[in-house]
A and B are shown apart, each in its own frame.
Chain A
Amino acid sequence: MTRLVPLREAAAPALRTVFVAASCAVVLVPLAFMLGSSFMPAIDIMRMPYRWIPETWMPANYLRALAGNDGTWMFLRNILNSVIVSSSIAVSTVVLSSIVGYGLAKFRFRGRDAVFMAIMGTMMIPFETVMIPLYLIIVKAGMQNSYAGLIVPFLMNAFGVFIMRQYLITFPEEMLDAARIDGCSEPRIFREIVFRNSGPAAATLAVLSFRQQWDNLLWPLLVAQEEKMKTIPAYIVKFAAEKHADEGAMMAVAVIASLPVFVLFFTLSKYFLGGSAVYQAGKE
């Protein structure tokens, strides 16, 4: 008995480490599969047993991925579209959310709380519920197959307003008052003092919004029916569904589509993961 206790105490952490390490390995398998297969000829990807390291290197997969099965190089254009749409939305979300969040955080006026509640209420409306009326608005405005149509419904969101308001509520009142006494106009106070100092919250919000749009499939599917206005997710679905799609090229498409977000993740992981922390802080 006296011997058993130390043994159990020593074995538990070791077991835990083995279990956790094995689980991490399992979770990473599909990523390794994506990367490895993107350099393999299609026959090798479906070979039994699967070899993790390519035996025949096929960097040409990446060329086929970019050129497409029809050789029109449409993927390049679609990547550009994704970059334009996602970054515009990231910028506009940050700017507009901090303007509105500032108004809600630092000004007293009748009806302010009602405005705040109304904006927060929109978080309960699932996008899937409003997408068809939104689509009809865009059609009526003649904005199908245009960047405007892809961007406008996401110019800002309630979550962004919420983050910016929470962040700006703690902004030192003295700084604002000092600027007012100096005769600074309100727009200028916002631009020069408030916006310049909202870095961390703004960065988190920008990364989250970019990420979300990079992933968006449903809305571009509705609004961008022309090939040249599609974004990456819609391109991927089309590419994968084509009859003679090559598996190696498919994985190369997957790698190319993931690169920007992985780069963001590794350089800005603080803000990436910050999102969940902010979200949780807000719920308290």
Chain B
Amino acid sequence: MIGRSTASGLEWNRAKWGWIFVAPGLAFFSIFSFYPMLNAIWTSFFNKRLLSLKAPKFIGLQNYQRVLGSEEFWNSARATATFTVGVFVPLFILSLLFAVLVTTMRRGRRLVQAALYSPAVLSSVVAALIWLLMLDPRGLANQFVNWVSMTPGIDHRWLSDGRMVQVSTMIVYVWKYLGYFTILFVTGIGKIPDSVNEAATMDGAGPVRRFFSITLPLLRPTTVLVSVMILIQCMKTFSTQYLFTQSGAPLAPVNVITLNIYNTAMRDLNIGRASVMSTVLFLFMLGLTWVQLKVSKKDEAGL
């Protein structure tokens, strides 16, 4: 009897300390994650202005009607989608390609990885700033493209033409994150047992066949992870678009959703409508994460 009560006393004591250690986390995430999240959803139903002393008025779904009915919002959705697709496809293919090439190299692996990764060390703003100068009408980008296509003196309007600005932001992103995702893929490929590849080689499978029949299927957990990471990164892009537009590039083609939220809140001071877009963005991300969880669960079940 006595023994049991001291045992449960000890257990209780341990539980108490568990709560004490966890408490700062609970407090922090309640104030700085959960409360603002709920607040954003809540505010999306109110007519709330920044710096206004008037009490916000409940207006039901009017903000949603306004936002979802506005050309500007759909333009932002389009800009974000264009950017995401335009970055995803080349970034995914190139980083996978380089990862495969790097893993088959005998020497210089680390050097290549370090070189490819180096742009990722820079801040996003610095990366955008370098390209801002290279994409200048008199800059390197025009010189290079004209040299390759042998069309001297043509200005490709990298930062002034609507389509080209979109392309320019994509270039900055692919350039900056190529090495990062290459390394993720290299790590993933490293986990595939050599014996599988050797067996396939013995059976006469060539490198291309081995890639599609062995590497790609066995790499699935990494491909899912990388895909979701790229998609989430792209949907949250801000710095490049902000720097380019601040330096004179046209806003509409690169007015991605985060830039629109920022401008709606800080320039137009319309917190209610900014919250609608915030909520929509959140739902999108939630959907993506859900897909990722589903897919990785399925992978586990399959193994």
Q: Which of B33, B124, B271 has the most CB of A within 10 A?
A: B33
Chain A residues near B180 (CB, 8 Å)? Answer: 276
Chain B contact-residue range equals 35 or more
| C-alpha gap A112/B18 in the complex (Å) | 8
B85 within 8 A of A: no
Interface on chain A toward B: helix, strand, loop, or mixed SS? helix
Name A28's contact: one of B32, B115, B236 (CB within 8 Å): B115
B192: shortest Cβ distance to chain A, in Å?
A: 14
Shortest Cβ gap from A122 to chain B (Å): 4
The reply to whether B119 and A31 form a contact with Cβ atoms under 8 Å apart is: yes
B279 CB within 8 Å of chain A = yes
Given A16-B105, A258-B121, are A124 and B289 neighbors across the interface (CB < 8 Å)? yes
Interface string of B204-247 (1 = CB under 8 A from A): 00000000000000000110010000001001101100110011
Q: Does B17 contact A (CB under 8 A)?
A: yes
Chain B residue at minimal CB-CB distance from A185: B17
Q: When the two chains form their complex, are residues B36 and A137 in contact, meaning their CB atoms are under 8 A apart?
A: yes
Known: A124-B289, A265-B121. A236 touches B126 (CB 8 A): yes
Q: Is the CB–CB distance between B246 and A240 below 8 Å?
A: yes
Contact residues in B for A277 (Cβ distance below 8 Å): 187
Across the interface, A190 reaches (CB within 8 A) one of B21, B31, B105, namely: B21
Contact with A along B18-36 (1 / 0, CB 8 A): 1111101110110111111
B24, B105, B179, B239: the one within 8 Å of A217 (CB): B239
**Contact indicator B238/A34 (Cβ below 8 Å):** no
B239-270 at interface with A (beta carbon < 8 Å): 239, 242-243, 246-248, 257-258, 261-262, 265-266
Could you tell me if B258 and A218 are in contact, using CB atoms closer than 8 angstroms? yes
Residue A1 at the B interface, CB < 8 A?
A: no
Contact call A31/B118, Cβ cutoff below 8 A: yes
Q: How close is A244's CB to chain B, nearest CB, in angstroms? A: 13
- A102 adjacent to chain B (CB < 8 Å): yes
Chain B residues 102-140 with CB under 8 Å of chain A are 102, 104-105, 112, 114-119, 121-127, 129-134, 136, 138-140
Q: Which residues of B contact A19 (CB under 8 A)?
A: 101
CB nearest neighbor in B for A155: B28
Q: Chain A 131-166 against B: per-residue CB contact (8 Å), 1 yes, 0 no?
A: 111111100000000000000110110100100000
B302 CB to nearest chain A CB (Å): 14
For residue B16, which residue of chain A has the nearest CB?
A109
Interface string of B69-87 (1 = CB under 8 A from A): 0000000000000000000
Supposing A48-B138, A132-B40, A277-B187 touch, asked if A254 and B126 sit within 8 A by C-beta, the answer is yes
CA distance A284 to B303 in the complex (A): 12
Residue interface bits A103-133, CB-to-B below 8 A is 1, else 0: 1100111101001001100101111111111
Assess whether B143 is interfacial by the CB under 8 Å rule: yes
Contact A50 B140 (CB under 8 A): yes
Question: In the bound complex, what is the Cα–Cα distance between A284 and B130 (angstroms)?
Answer: 37
Scoring A20, A253, A261 by chain B CB atoms within 10 A of each residue's CB, the highest score goes to A20
Of chain A, the residue at the smallest CB distance from B136 is A46
Determine whether the beta carbon of A237 is less than 8 Å from that of B125.
yes
Q: Is A108 within 8 A of B15, CB to CB?
A: yes
Q: Are B247 and A240 in contact (CB under 8 A)?
A: yes
Q: Is A197 an interface residue (CB 8 A)?
A: no
CB within 8 A of B15: which of A107, A132, A161? A107
Flag if A30 contacts B119 (CB, 8 Å): yes
Residues of A within 8 A of B232 (CB): 126
Q: Which of B131, B136, B248, B258 contacts A30 (CB 8 A)?
A: B131
Give the chain A neighbours of B188 by CB distance below 8 A. 280
Is A109 touching B15 in the complex (CB atoms < 8 A)? Answer: yes
What is the CA–CA distance of A232 and B126 in the complex, to the nearest angstrom? 10
User: Does B296 lie within 8 Å of A46, measured CB to CB?
Assistant: no
Between-chain CB contacts (< 8 Å), 29 pairs:
A16-B101, A16-B104, A27-B118, A29-B140, A33-B130, A47-B138, A48-B143, A50-B143, A99-B24, A103-B18, A104-B22, A108-B14, A109-B14, A119-B25, A125-B33, A126-B282, A127-B236, A133-B43, A134-B32, A156-B28, A161-B25, A232-B125, A257-B126, A258-B126, A265-B118, A277-B187, A280-B225, A283-B221, A283-B296
Query: Using a CB–CB distance below 8 Å, which chain B residues touch chain A?
Result: 11, 14-15, 17-22, 24-26, 28-29, 31-37, 39-40, 43, 98, 101-102, 104-105, 112, 114-119, 121-127, 129-134, 136, 138-140, 143, 175, 178-180, 183-184, 187-188, 221-222, 225, 232, 235-236, 238-239, 242-243, 246-248, 257-258, 261-262, 265-266, 271, 274-275, 278-279, 281-282, 285-286, 289, 296
The 4 A-B pairs at the shortest CB distance, nearest first, are namely A103-B21, A107-B18, A100-B25, A133-B36
Taking A16-B104, A27-B178, A257-B125 as known contacts, 11 extra A-B pairs with beta carbons closer than 8 A to each other, sorted by chain A number, are A23-B116, A27-B179, A50-B139, A109-B15, A124-B289, A126-B282, A134-B32, A236-B126, A250-B129, A265-B118, A276-B184
